[in-house]
Structure 1
Amino acid sequence: MASSVIDSELYRGIYVSEEMRKVFSDESLLQKWLDCWVALAEAEAEVGLIPEEVAQEIANKANYRSIDMEVIRKGIVDTTHPLIVQIREFTKVVGGKAGQFIHWGATTQDIMDTTVVLQIKEAQDVLLSQLRKFLDTLLNLAQEHKNTVMPGRTHGQHALPVTLGYKMAIWVDEIGKHIERLEEGKKRYLLGSFSGAAGTLASISENGLAVQELYCKNLGLGQPTITWHTQRDGFAEFASIIAMISGTIGKIANEIINLQKSEIGEIEEGFKMGQVGSSTMPHKRNPMLCEYVVGLTRIVQRNASLGFDAMIQEHERDMTFWTTEWSYIPQICMLTSGGIEQMQGVLERFIVHKEHMERNLNLLKGLIVSENLMLTLGKYVGRQNAHDMIYKVSMQAFEENRSLLEVTLEDKDIMSHMSEQEVKEHLRPKNYIGLCTELIDRVDKKWRSFCRT
């Protein structure tokens, strides 16, 4: 029986990608525990600590299907220990002499921590694949809408004209940096853990570092410099990156929500017949997917903060916050992956209403480019004098609901310095998009190669 949206059969299609669900499934978790024991046995056999045939037997039997999930579940409850029942059951499966060498020299946290890292490694591969596809889609849309002029807004008000491609290029730049962060973070948090009871490798001190190195290598992980049983900064860093990724995805979703408002109507997240916006208002075409994404972003960011709490550790082992990682890391990964998947779909079918952008550009009757007029006038009378003069006609135009052009042409002080044609030219919104197109090309040049693995 499901107890949350993450594992709900009803909600799972909205909140979680199926690929990421598999990464954090019980089957995957159990197999990763077994993989750790195999890697450890093979490392110990290589340095001569245990016989090679023992390591081979352990590897041959390391399949999660040979372990009874229900026995594990009940055993964890009965023993209150997160791993001892798995050790016992795997020992039975392997049997004989080989079974006695399972978990040799390790402590529970070594296996539990390494398993979480293996989950993160796999989850990161899923996220990177999703982000690269998302980046590619955004880059193509930014180029497609390089010259699609729309109102730029600051403080919720019209500011200056921008292009839709420019707005998207800003999103691209964030996504690109997140990919970069994930790639760079690997060397800090994709580290194996094999240090023994108090982290000193006392159990196999003669071969300890050699075994640790091989153990990590066998799992495709880095070797730590020192024990990280009480160093949780790696997980905190990973959680921070995930929270930032989710934040960017949520920001994009929120922007689409705002631009889809009836009064603005410049973008829609996409629509197909059968989609329902309201149970009582048949006309509604709500940005439901984007709203789901903004909601899950908030959950991700709150849960990710547990990574910082877990950095406060006591002595050489502290389970009080360590256990939160088994919960919050799967949650933030699954929800973020689900958010990317939803927004990928939105970007692939969203609707751009250029005619509404055109309408909104002229909504303030020229006021959106008052800066352009001011700076041109400033060449003749100085910047501050020009500001005061254009402020005066702008406020008059606003209060009287007239065009800035009309009011400006009536102002003798301004017109003593500028021609009518000059005023008209500088009050055309599409003539004042600055370096939008050049900036889009700069972003494209920097991040295009990141679309590929």
Structure 2
Amino acid sequence: MIPRYSRMEMRQLWSREHSYSLWLKVELLALEGMEAIGKIPSGTTEIVRSRATVDVERIAVLEAQVHHEVIAFLTSVSEQVGIEGRFIHYGMTSSDMLDTALAVQTCEAIDLLLAEIDDLTNTLRQLAEEHRGTLCLARTHGRGAEPTTFGLKLAGFFAEFRRSARRLAEARREMAVCKLAGAVGTYATIDPRVENFVAAALSLTPETVATQAVARDRHASVMTGLAILAGAIERLATELRHLQRQEVEEVAEGFSATQKGSSAMPHKRNPIFSENLTGLARLIRASAMPVLENIALWHERDMSHSSVERVALPDAFSLCDFALARLSGIMRGLEVRPDRMRANLDAMRGGFASQRVLLSLIDAGLSRERAYAMVQQAAARAVDQGMTFRDAALLEPELTTHISVEEIDVATDPACYLANVDFIFARAFAEL
């Protein structure tokens, strides 16, 4: 991923240096496991550990010669170690090392994302509580519906991101597997006790039934988790973009004193960061499909998954990490405009009360069909003649014979729509 859309910690986690360091860690633990069961001479691991280092440049030179990255890595380490190097990778196949190291690397990346989600949800909860009672207009199909609160909007996003966190935590559990079972997973050349030893040391679980490789449904579970997380990021970003439209203006992204909105129009203050997140979410989701297609490998293993994972996993994780950090920054600096929210609500002229008046008429004994027609006619009159819904309703003689003016007044009071906000908040934040 280009530096513009990645952050240092995640970028370093997916670097070749870190990958090779995990490869070496797996190989050293395998040596230690074999030594523990008496398969190789005592003291071998200590000698190898004291001499072996990761030499990225040497590995690159060797790979250009042998066209096999794992052999290049093993050759580089063996050159440093000496005669004890003959036990490195003993009885193992490339995927034993690669898949086990990738499991650790992926779990590390998920842990970074979970910390970012925690930061975001903490901000969302704080804002939700602050605006628990801040009235605003809910919209369906892009049109005014009924009153809600800005805090309630944010509580919904909070709950969605907590679901993403749980989903990623479960994907992490599925991904945290170790495979040291030899060429086609039969343990014909390596003792299962070695795998158990390495798995315990790395906080992994041995793969249930391995072929030459760990089953790729595990990796697909991680990627679908990232894709759904991207959807959550985009949904909040899209909401923020709509709320910043000129005719809405209920929120605004932070805008620094030196920031410019347009190269041509100095008056512009554009929602560029929310728009950026929408684009990044598309890239993240695009990475999921090739990883899903990796599930169907040939027989005990082919290599078609390798190129996909080298690109898709680092890019998707880097983009998610960057996007979460950017979204947290947007929310911390968000300018919320309660006065504008109330003005947009008032611009409905009470039309949002149509359902409550409808229900009052039903309670009074009218059929739903007749009540609906009466209320719809009043709502249309209000729009056509530029009057309030209350006044238009009072012009419907049949309507006022069934419900009182007081009932209409209650229905058109936005505050009466908030009776259960506290109940919803209690449920949304119950897990905390």
Find the aligned partners of 1:385 and 1:166 in 2 and give their Cα distance: 33
Among candidates 208, 222, 225, match of residue 225 of structure 1: 208
Deviation at 1:263, TM superposition (A): 0.6
> 2:39 matched to 1:49?
yes
Among candidates 242, 246, 264, match of residue 258 of structure 1: 242
- Matched with 1:146 is 132
User: TM (normalized to structure 2)?
Assistant: 0.96
Kept in 2, the 8 Å contact 1:378–1:385? The answer is no
1:76-113 per-position Cα deviation (integer Å, ceiling 9, x unaligned) = 233221211110000111223x2111111111111111
Deviation at 1:415, TM superposition (A): 1.2
1:3-18 matches, cutoff 5 A: 6-8=1-3, 11=4, 15-18=5-8
Deviation at 1:383, TM superposition (A): 3.1
- Matched with 2:376 is 391
Deviation at 1:434, TM superposition (A): 5.2
Kept in 1, the 8 Å contact 2:179–2:214? The answer is no
SS at match of 1:415: helix
1:339-378 matches, cutoff 5 A: 339-378=323-362
Among candidates 51, 54, 58, match of residue 61 of structure 1: 51
Kept in 2, the 8 Å contact 1:268–1:287? The answer is yes
> What letter is aligned with 1:58?
V
Kept in 2, the 8 Å contact 1:38–1:62? The answer is no
- Greater mean deviation of Cα atoms: 325-334 or 417-426: 417-426
Gaps spanning 5+ residues in structure 1: where? Answer: 1-5, 449-453
Deviation at 1:349, TM superposition (A): 0.8
Find the aligned partners of 2:371 and 2:69 in 1 and give their Cα distance: 72
Find the aligned partners of 2:402 and 2:255 in 1 and give their Cα distance: 51
Deviation at 1:230, TM superposition (A): 5.9
- Greater mean deviation of Cα atoms: 75-84 or 355-364: 75-84
SS at match of 1:318: coil
1:99-118 matches, cutoff 5 A: 99-118=85-104
> What letter is aligned with 1:432?
Y
- Matched with 1:441 is 426
Find the aligned partners of 1:151 and 1:61 in 2 and give their Cα distance: 67
- Matched with 2:123 is 137
Deviation at 1:278, TM superposition (A): 1.0
SS at match of 1:437: helix
Find the aligned partners of 1:91 and 1:53 in 2 and give their Cα distance: 16
CA RMSD of superposed structures (Å): 1.5
> 2:276 matched to 1:292?
yes
> 2:398 matched to 1:413?
yes
> 2:22 matched to 1:27?
no
SS at match of 1:151: strand
- Greater mean deviation of Cα atoms: 134-143 or 177-186: 177-186
1:333-373 per-position Cα deviation (integer Å, ceiling 9, x unaligned) = 00000000000101111010101100110122111221112
Kept in 2, the 8 Å contact 1:393–1:404? The answer is yes
> 2:109 matched to 1:123?
yes
SS at match of 1:416: helix
Find the aligned partners of 2:123 and 2:187 in 1 and give their Cα distance: 49
> What letter is aligned with 1:132?
D
SS at match of 1:52: coil
Find the aligned partners of 2:391 and 2:333 in 1 and give their Cα distance: 41
SS at match of 2:215: coil
- Matched with 1:451 is none
Count of aligned pairs: 430
Among candidates 189, 195, 209, match of residue 192 of structure 2: 209
Find the aligned partners of 1:377 and 1:304 in 2 and give their Cα distance: 51
4+ aligned runs moved over 6 Å, structure 1 = none
SS at match of 2:139: strand
Find the aligned partners of 2:306 and 2:73 in 1 and give their Cα distance: 19
Point out which structure has higher relative CO (alpha carbons under 8 A, 6+ apart).
1
- Matched with 1:327 is 311
1:4-63 per-position Cα deviation (integer Å, ceiling 9, x unaligned) = xx234xx2xxx2222211211222112111111111111111111112311112222343
- Matched with 1:77 is 64
Kept in 2, the 8 Å contact 1:32–1:115? The answer is yes
Find the aligned partners of 2:50 and 2:148 in 1 and give their Cα distance: 62
> What letter is aligned with 2:45?
A
Deviation at 1:75, TM superposition (A): 2.6
Deviation at 1:443, TM superposition (A): 0.7
Kept in 1, the 8 Å contact 2:357–2:375? The answer is yes
> What letter is aligned with 1:395?
A
Seq. identity, %: 29
> 2:398 matched to 1:403?
no
Q: 1:249 to 1:62 in 2, by over 3 A?
A: farther
Find the aligned partners of 1:331 and 1:34 in 2 and give their Cα distance: 24
Find the aligned partners of 1:78 and 1:371 in 2 and give their Cα distance: 75
SS at match of 1:262: coil
SS at match of 2:153: helix
